[in-house]
Structure 1
Amino acid sequence: MFELLGAASLPEISLPAAANLLGLTERGAVSTFEVLERASLIEQHVPGRWRMHDLIQLYAAQQARKIQPTIHQEVALDRLVYFYLHSAHSADRVINPRRPPIEISSPGSSCRPLSFSDPVKARDWFGSELACLRSVQVLAVESGRCHRAAWQLTWAMDTYQYRQGYLHERIAAWRSALAAAQTEGDAVALIMVHRLFGHAYTRVGKHTKATTHLRQALNLAEEIADDFGQAQVHYTLTKAWEEKGETRRALEHAMSALRIFQNLNDATWEANALSMVGLYSARLGNHQEARTFCQKSLSLCRHNNERQGEAQALSNLGYVGELAAQPNEALSYYRQALDLFRILGHVYYEANSLDCLGRVSFSINDLGQARAAWEGALLIYQDQGRQADCDRIKRKLRELG
């Protein structure tokens, strides 16, 4: 058991994960940990989580390579990979239930993953397990046996990483996922991986890399006549061109996405596309038209209980009000969006909403509210490593004196 824990090479391990790795009940895993703890080979540094010293873990891994039968290690490590894949998939479905699902690989009868029904508990699990999830994703890639599980694990933890603002970590995960998907050769998987890899690059301002991956995704989707895939790529391209400041190109892709989603009768994605069309219409000065699109999006989201889309529509309506020189309307919508993003645990957009509130408050000379909002945004931007946003907010705060 000591050797298998070394072979897994996790920064720490929980009781359910250890039970799956070792092929034991949780009670059996606890008994094993007690033996190892008495020998000072492992420690329970927080309740329910154990870790090894780096040198001890290295020695355990070396012993595993010398002593453990290869098939024994492979079976144990595969159980660990599928435990994390299915647990993460269950957690993601709770925190982002409207996300188009994927069909994940079977866990096998000996794997006992966790299941979630409470979004708060799901987010807490991701928070405690994220470092292990990243390690297991690398393990799945390097094993050479779990290519499909590797990109699916990246998909499963992507919502949480994006909402928490782990932007560079997302890029690393999708880079590994792309290598795994290319090995597997599944065209639909490659469309999805290129699209989300492109989105990850968009969020760190790497426009050329983002559009390269998004064009590859769009070409693949067109080749296999995947209408839904094409629409999703057009939708993601709007964000790439938005970051570049190319509003008209962003609007063209938003309109293309909207037409396809409407033809597919996909109300959730139609609402998302309506919101984006409204956003770019506002930037081009068509404020009333923009408001109409965003209000249609808001109505659809509320009808379908699509809370993330609702938050985004509220934020875009705030932006329309801001551009239309209606600050009170803008503040009302931005505050509603902020409240909803906080409920969803979407810290990335929480920071953006605070930033917007600061901007509008400053415009009406409510300097105290502007400072409070910008200071809140700055703390999150710093945590997320969004340096350009940090520098911009610091300049704003200096203007306030």
Structure 2
Amino acid sequence: MDRTFGEILRRHRVGLDLTQQALAEKAQLSEQAIGALERGDRRFPQAVTMDLLVGALGLIGSEREEFVRAGSRKGKPRHRGTTPRQLPAGIEHFTGRSDQVRLIAGLVRDRATAGLVAITGMGGVGKTSLAVHVGHLLAEDFPDGQLYVDLQGHGAREPVAPLAALGLFLRALGVAGKDVPGSVTEAAARLRTELAGRRVLLLLDNAASSEQVTPLLPGTSGAAAIITSRRALLAVRHARQVHLDVLAEPDALTLLASSAPRVILEPDAAAEVVRRCGGLPLAVRLAGARLAARPAWPVSYLAERLADAERRLDELDQDECGVRACFALSIDVLAADDAAAYPLLAWPDVPDLSVTVAARVLDCGEEETERLLERLTVACLLEASAPGRYRLHDLLRVYGAELASAPTRSAALTRLLELYGTVAWSSYATVNPGSPMHALAPDPCPAPQFADDAAFTWLDGERHHLLAAVRQAVTDPGVDSAPIALLALGLFEFYRTQGLWWDWRDICETALRKPGDDLMRACLLLDLAVAKAGLAQRGDGDFPAALHHIEDSVALFEAHGDDALTGRALNNACYVYRLSGAYDEAIAYGERALTLANRDRARGLTLVNLAEIYALAGDRATQHRYLAEALAILEPMDDAHGIAYALVVLGLAHRADGHLEEAIASLRRSAEQWRRIADTPSEANTLIDLGETLLAAGQPESAREVLTSALALIPRYGDPVREKKARALLRRVTA
């Protein structure tokens, strides 16, 4: 004997260990309704009630059919019209996306939510593949059908009008063509009526806008919809936004191997291929197809071809299905101003763009630029990598850059260099306002204004961009040498005070590939010599190369004839030779520098430099005489850098003389001055000297404190030699 609907309902409820109240809450029904159905007071629930109970109980397959049949007046499941199965064929080797599959499937299944999911992402990222894959996985959850429409939001054809899409759906659900309403409002209402009480999944693919898809959405919780679009559909009410990113490298490799299994024999080359494809599924599939069609090609050969940015998209082109064609669909639908701006944003070969940087590249105001960047982000042509920062996918950058004309992109890159240069020289003036180099500083361009050492913080956020911009500029014939050299020179104090010796060396060497006149060459060689000497002191440099650069630089400055600049070069030569251990040569250069310096900052710094070397050479009397004169010059100027330098040398002189209290006082004052100008390496070095002096004075706890502070600073810039010394001193504290 067949069980009644109430008996079947109770059996499933008890099997899930649910009370009537718990089931009512889960199905969004009243507890009284559940009780009436189980008692048989109501034998045949309404279609919507039936649908809610099926979802709450998680019934599928034969259990669902039995349940629905028992609640039907005719003893068979309700069935209206036809059962459409319109989903495109799934991908045979669907790869990755397991987290997104679980998320989307869970959202679509959940009766407590609207069952609406909007999958967004750049062209070629696999939105449709994912949506179709999830649709096939959920086929049993939607036994009343799956509807599919390509809304043509991005393509050569006009987007599908909502009324046309509604007509397609209604006819698929069994509504006669003559009965399809002629207005969007009436047709949308009819669709909601047809979907009520039915478990139907709608896949709205390639949507152009929220306005296009809103009329196509179901009105009851039984039906669900998955939307895909290259634009963020923020106006679709109750839709959960799922942004799709590129594939992780392991998944991209699996995808590549599905087309060309031999890639597993060349793992390094295969990894390089997927990296050059930027993990974009479309590009990875095309690369795999290229290998499959050319069995004689080693994977490494394709990797080499993809390494050339100018031909990369050629390798990934396949007529209307290639990467270029895919990206063009996204660009072509932009407003004219946005489409014109995009190639300029794509041209700078930098990791990402801040609003300030993008504004200079476009030569626009920051508010206008931010609105444009947000529009491009909504269009999935940019990614908001962090608050106020935007990033292009590598292949989108290559494609966008192709669209820029040579004069406009060179001008954009020049404006970027000028922005960086303006901030760099501002930071230089904060730390070293009396340098004769300021005579070379370029006219400032529109740039942020900074207080104290905030310019260093801003430059640190752009650290990797600085070198990237210079490397790109030296290869661009449309970019003049002056902004390149002046940017590199303006970064002197930023790189020195932050201990960024490797960056400093690299940017000077790069700028020297396009140095301009002899004066610029002399300045760049001087900075390069100081950077290489700093690296050599830390065990990662070349003193002979540094000495060669410094000699060439001094010769060029002397030929130029500017005493202030020549004196600076001689003083830096003194410093470089001192680091190399050539004290006699260092003293000779320093004394020559003194002959060109009046009673000014340059003379004060040269005196300190020489004082340090005379001590190393064993002439302590000259050391003390030079230090006294240096402090008499520098302290009235309130020159933090010069005072800090003089005080650390004085402190070490006091320690050597056995005057430990005076040494401690001088070293503490020096550390405070270094901190004042955010010179992290010098502050850390001074703290290590202070810690060693405190140990000698029998103050181990104070030594522990300052040495710990020094070790906290060193990772900001890296100095294994000084770090090793600090740790050795700390071990003495605990011994």
Task: Check whether TM > 0.5.
Answer: yes
Instruction: Give the secondary-structure state (helix, strand or coil) at the position aligned to 2:475.
Output: helix
Partner of 1:380: 713
Matched, 1:194 2:525: yes
Partner of 2:623: 290
Instruction: Give the secondary-structure state (helix, strand or coil) at the position aligned to 1:212.
Output: helix
Distance 1:24 1:382, change over 3 A: closer
Matched, 1:236 2:572: yes
% identical aligned pairs: 21
CA separation in 2, counterparts of 1:244 and 1:378?
A: 25
Partner of 1:33: 373
Q: How does 1:15-94 map to 2 (within 5 A)?
A: 15-52=355-392, 56-65=393-402, 67-94=403-430
Partner of 1:211: 547
CA separation in 1, counterparts of 2:614 and 2:499?
A: 27
Matched, 1:343 2:679: no
Distance 1:72 1:195, change over 3 A: closer
Q: How does 1:2-401 map to 2 (within 5 A)?
A: 2-52=342-392, 56-65=393-402, 67-100=403-436, 101-105=438-442, 112-114=445-447, 116=449, 118-144=451-477, 145-181=479-515, 184=516, 186-205=517-536, 206-261=542-597, 265=598, 267-400=600-733, 401=735
CA separation in 1, counterparts of 2:387 and 2:374?
A: 13
Structure 2 unaligned spans of 5+: 1-340, 537-541
Deviates more, 1:372-381 or 1:338-347: 372-381
The 8 Å contact of residues 83 and 113 in structure 1, kept in 2 or not, is answered as yes
Instruction: Give the secondary-structure state (helix, strand or coil) at the position aligned to 2:384.
Output: strand
Shift of 1:149: 1.0
Distance 1:136 1:292, change over 3 A: same
CA separation in 2, counterparts of 1:170 and 1:88?
A: 13
Shift of 1:343: 0.7
Instruction: Give the secondary-structure state (helix, strand or coil) at the position aligned to 1:45.
Output: strand
Deviates more, 1:226-235 or 1:326-335: 226-235
CA separation in 2, counterparts of 1:94 and 1:82?
A: 18
The 8 Å contact of residues 231 and 258 in structure 1, kept in 2 or not, is answered as yes
Deviations 1:217-261 (A, max 9, x none): 122233344433432222112222222233333223222211221
Instruction: Give the secondary-structure state (helix, strand or coil) at the position aligned to 1:40.
Output: coil
Instruction: Give the secondary-structure state (helix, strand or coil) at the position aligned to 2:385.
Output: strand
Shift of 1:104: 4.3
Report the AA paired with residue 201 of structure 1. K
Name the structure with the higher helix share: 1
Structure 1 unaligned spans of 5+: none
Question: Structure 1-normalised TM-score?
Answer: 0.89
Shift of 1:330: 0.6
Instruction: Give the secondary-structure state (helix, strand or coil) at the position aligned to 1:381.
Output: helix
Deviates more, 1:84-93 or 1:26-35: 84-93
The 8 Å contact of residues 685 and 722 in structure 2, kept in 1 or not, is answered as no
Distance 1:204 1:64, change over 3 A: closer
Report the AA paired with residue 296 of structure 1. E
CA separation in 1, counterparts of 2:366 and 2:644?
A: 40
Shift of 1:37: 1.4
Distance 1:39 1:224, change over 3 A: closer
Distance 1:58 1:313, change over 3 A: same
Deviations 1:108-129 (A, max 9, x none): xxxx521535223322222222
The 8 Å contact of residues 554 and 569 in structure 2, kept in 1 or not, is answered as yes
Instruction: Give the secondary-structure state (helix, strand or coil) at the position aligned to 1:204.
Output: helix
The 8 Å contact of residues 424 and 494 in structure 2, kept in 1 or not, is answered as no
Shift of 1:215: 0.8
Report the AA paired with residue 192 of structure 1. C
Shift of 1:268: 0.9
CA separation in 1, counterparts of 2:404 and 2:586?
A: 55
Moved over 4 A (4+): 104-107
The 8 Å contact of residues 91 and 116 in structure 1, kept in 2 or not, is answered as no
Distance 1:73 1:286, change over 3 A: closer
Deviations 1:262-319 (A, max 9, x none): xxx2611011111122222333344343223112211211222322111111111111
Deviates more, 1:216-225 or 1:158-167: 216-225
Deviations 1:149-201 (A, max 9, x none): 111101112211110111111110111122221xx2x2222221111110111
Task: Specify which structure has the bigger relative contact order, considering alpha-carbon pairs within 8 angstroms and separated by 6 or more residues.
Answer: 1
CA separation in 2, counterparts of 1:278 and 1:250?
A: 11
Question: Structure 2-normalised TM-score?
Answer: 0.50
The 8 Å contact of residues 467 and 506 in structure 2, kept in 1 or not, is answered as no
Deviates more, 1:349-358 or 1:21-30: 21-30
CA separation in 2, counterparts of 1:147 and 1:90?
A: 20
The 8 Å contact of residues 424 and 490 in structure 2, kept in 1 or not, is answered as yes
Shift of 1:3: 2.5
Instruction: Give the secondary-structure state (helix, strand or coil) at the position aligned to 1:143.
Output: coil
The 8 Å contact of residues 287 and 323 in structure 1, kept in 2 or not, is answered as no
Deviates more, 1:95-104 or 1:326-335: 95-104
CA separation in 2, counterparts of 1:299 and 1:346?
A: 23
CA separation in 1, counterparts of 2:555 and 2:473?
A: 28
The 8 Å contact of residues 163 and 346 in structure 1, kept in 2 or not, is answered as yes
CA separation in 2, counterparts of 1:139 and 1:278?
A: 43
CA separation in 1, counterparts of 2:580 and 2:469?
A: 34
Deviations 1:51-107 (A, max 9, x none): 23xxx2332322331x33222222222222222222332333234322221434557
Distance 1:277 1:63, change over 3 A: closer
